A and B are shown apart, each in its own frame.
Chain A
Amino acid sequence: MKKLNIYLLAFLMLSGTIFGANKLNVVTTLTTYANIAKYIGKDKITVASIVAGDQDAHFVRPKPSYAVLLSKADVFVSTGLDLELWVPTLVDMSKNDKIRSGQIGFVAASDGIKLLEKPSVLSRSEGGLHIYGNPHITTNPLNYKIIAENIEIGLEKNDPENAGFYEANLKEFKHMIDVHTFGEKLVALMGGKLLTKLANNGNLIDFLRSHNYQGKKMIDFLGGWLKEGMPFRGRKVVAYHKNWVYFKELFGIEIIGNVEPKPGIPPSPKHVEELVSEMRKNNVKVVLAANYFDEKKVTDICNKVGAVPVIVPIYVNGAPGTEDVFKLVNLWITKLNEAFKIADQK
């Protein structure tokens, strides 16, 4: 009996290895990319990510254990911009040529996304500037559809046999994003593609407000995150770092200033003083920050002007209850609504 158990165990381990070997091994920089990859690859892939959900993706140490992870990767997904500057070092350390830029296993998640804030002056006097444009693309859920398309291409290139499977999952994921963003009724009426185009051009809300259908204002058909975000549309906030610009584009908040005087430059007392006075002048009641920044600094600023801090993870799994992209965006919107509600009652 004991012998039989050993054989059984050996068989299970062997079969696990074999079945595991059939799966594409996907490694991503961000947990958000890992989560999207899982929606597309489902049980045909294994996914691991390097940056923790509550970590600043700019500053990751290229540790040897990450190189080991990358050495086994079939597909490597990174933003492809100058967000994760430590990536080339890790790829070099991994000795895995398949995942180098331009090779079959490399996916640039940002490809095809209209980048915002392209700098006109390339100088460090602008702080930690990003020469291709702002790389914090994951704060706009509509960008997830393009990221998913890029990941699907990467999976398909490396596993063409399952192309149909990945394509079907991509379609399903994109529909889920549309429904979550615009609501089911509006998606059924106008289609996700057209709505996305309107939203990306900043015309969606005005369009819906200015048109009627079936005797109703079209804005009444709006649902999903955009409807939930209507209470704070047009309202002013201060952000810690410039990582909410894509969110701002979709949800229409107005960011009047940043805690960092320039990206990557720690705030001096003088800058904080100026920011506080600007907040008072503009009646800014909310400070929005990713949860890897100094919480104390955010609350100190808030206390000075009676504002409410919204400290949230910027990536999937950055806090409990953000296990996927849908829960993450839900959290952003819920926390902002709560903060404005509290601020208005003050």
Chain B
Amino acid sequence: MKRNIVVLMIFAFLFATAKSYAQNADSLKIKEMEKRIEKLEKKQQQSEFQKILSEAAAASEEKKVEKKTKVFKSGQRSLQAINPEMSFTGEGYGQYSSNESETGTSGFYFRKLGLHIAGGLDPFSFMKAAVEFSPEGVELGEAYITWTKFIPAVSLTAGKFRQQFGVVNRWHVHAADQFDYPLALTTILGEDGLNQIGVSFDWLMPAITASANELTLQITNGQNEQLFAGSTFSFPSVLAHFKNYYDINRNTYLELGLTGVYGSNRVATSVGDDFRGRTILGGADLTLSWEPVNQSLYHSFVWRSELYYANKEISATDRIKALGGYSYFEYRFNEWWQAGFRFDYTQPFIQNNSDKEIRQFVPYITWQQSHWVRLRLQYNYLDGNVFEKATGTVRLQMVFAVGPHKHDRY
């Protein structure tokens, strides 16, 4: 009996071992199969992904241009693309005057057609020129070359240019905020202001007294008819302008400038000798400008004033001394409309003028059709003790620019 039990136990043990062995083998097989499936799946995914990637790459490629028979052309005679920038400005107006002997007949006029050319000359310099066509003929407004860095921080301009006497004298009249230059400018500096041939050194100084300081020194022919010797000039005139520019905040700036000019005039004396008299000019300018940076298309305000003073020796004992100035403000209401008012005061440019004066009141409104076309309605009320009667003039002015015309004003 005992023996039977032992045999039974051995048999049971062997059976259990065999079963466990078989189970282990199955489990290994399953695991192996699982691994193989996983591997296959990975492989399939990889190839699926590779396919996606290659399809993506194909989709990202642009369509190839079909190869076709070409006609070959030469561009050697078609280099107009490197012509300088050219643009035209035009100005016309209609006027009604209460005193035509002072202002000219009431009617329509075309004042100027300006051809403006600008472009780089080489890596070191650029040029600008303005040729003005008017009913009186053709005139060279400006033509100059500028070396952008003559010496560190200093540029050199040579040619004919509107000079840096204050602010407005530098501008072409079509770019001015009113129809005309201020009366003091045309009375003291001459009909067209200071615009002579010579050289100009412009130094962007280290900002000492303001956010920016600039010193301009201009040596030009003394060829202004009224102030210097006109076409008989022999001595140069020298102009210095010192600019102080202050950023008050991100919308507002203030600019103060001082100008001085020294030159020689040449006037024939009664005995036939040449008298070489001196001409001294002085000027001061002030600009306060407000323009919200995020609404600059719609609103702005500017207040600008200048003083002009001239002292011209016309003989050993005689002098013409004249003082004048203007002040104007202008407000932009929206992208179309801006309006302003200018007050002019000047002494006439004659001898013994201490008790003489001319005043002008100039309200105006400007409609800006676009950046390139504008219309302006302006009234000039001219009065003073040098006139027999006051003159009122209404003008409707149109100004246009075609081409890449830009202004450097700020």
Seen from chain A, the residues whose Cβ lies within 8 Å of a Cβ on chain B are: 52, 54-56, 59, 61-65, 67-68, 71, 85-86, 89, 91-97, 100, 102-103, 124, 127-128, 189-190, 194, 197-198, 201, 203, 207, 211, 213-214, 218, 264-266, 291-294
Contact = CB atoms under 8 A, between A and B. Distances in A.
Contact of A203 (B52, B59, B124): B59
Contacts of B371: 128, 264
B56 interface: yes
Indicate the size class of the contact surface on chain B: 35 or more
A61 B410 contact: yes
A100 B247 contact: no
Nearest to B373: A124
B45 A124 contact: no
Nearest to B247: A65
Looking at chain A's contact residues, the main secondary structure is loop
Nearest to B243: A64
Interface stretch (B179-187, B291-299, B350-358): B291-299
Given A92-B148, A95-B149, A63 B410 contact: yes
A233 B372 CA distance: 38
Contacts of B214: 64
A186 to B, nearest CB: 11
16 contacts: A55-B293, A55-B294, A63-B245, A63-B410, A64-B211, A64-B255, A65-B207, A86-B406, A92-B148, A128-B371, A190-B56, A194-B60, A198-B56, A201-B62, A266-B370, A292-B296
Contacts of B45: 213-214
Interface in B180-232: 202, 204, 207, 211-212, 214
A54 B334 CA distance: 18
Contacts, number: 122
A341 to B, nearest CB: 27
Given A194-B60, A198-B56, A291-B294, A89 B408 contact: yes
B48 to A, nearest CB: 7
B292 to A, nearest CB: 9
B55 interface: yes
Looking at chain B's contact residues, the main secondary structure is mixed
Contacts of A124: 372, 402
Contact of B409 (A56, A61, A96): A61
Given A61-B409, A64-B211, A64-B212, 17 more contacts: A52-B250, A54-B293, A56-B296, A64-B245, A64-B410, A65-B207, A65-B247, A95-B152, A95-B202, A124-B402, A194-B53, A194-B60, A201-B60, A203-B59, A203-B60, A294-B297, A294-B334
Nearest to A207: B59
A265 B335 CA distance: 9
B296 A59 contact: yes
A127 B370 contact: yes
Contacts of B409: 61
Given A64-B245, A97-B149, A214-B45, A52 B212 contact: no
A56 B148 CA distance: 28
Nearest to B63: A201
A100 B148 contact: yes
Interface string B307-350: 00000000000000000000000000011100000000000000
A55 B292 CA distance: 9
A85 B409 CA distance: 13
B294 A52 contact: yes
Query: Which of A56, A68, A291 has the largest number of chain B CB atoms within 10 A?
Result: A68
Query: Which of B48, B336, B371 has the largest number of chain A CB atoms within 10 A?
Result: B371
A211 B48 CA distance: 10
B28 interface: no
A259 B146 CA distance: 41
Contacts of A59: 296-297
Contacts of A52: 250, 293-294
Nearest to B207: A68
A136 to B, nearest CB: 16
A210 B148 CA distance: 58
B250 A67 contact: no
Given A194-B53, A201-B59, A294 B298 contact: yes
B159 to A, nearest CB: 15
Contacts of A61: 291, 409-410
Nearest to A290: B294
Contact of B296 (A55, A198, A207): A55
B95 interface: no
B57 A194 contact: yes
Contacts of B53: 190, 194
Interface in B20-61: 45, 48-49, 52-53, 55-57, 59-61
6 tightest Cβ-Cβ pairs between the two chains A and B? A64-B212, A197-B60, A61-B410, A54-B294, A65-B211, A64-B245
Nearest to B212: A64
Contacts of A56: 294, 296-297
Contact of A96 (B149, B247, B255, B370): B149
B197 to A, nearest CB: 21
A342 to B, nearest CB: 25
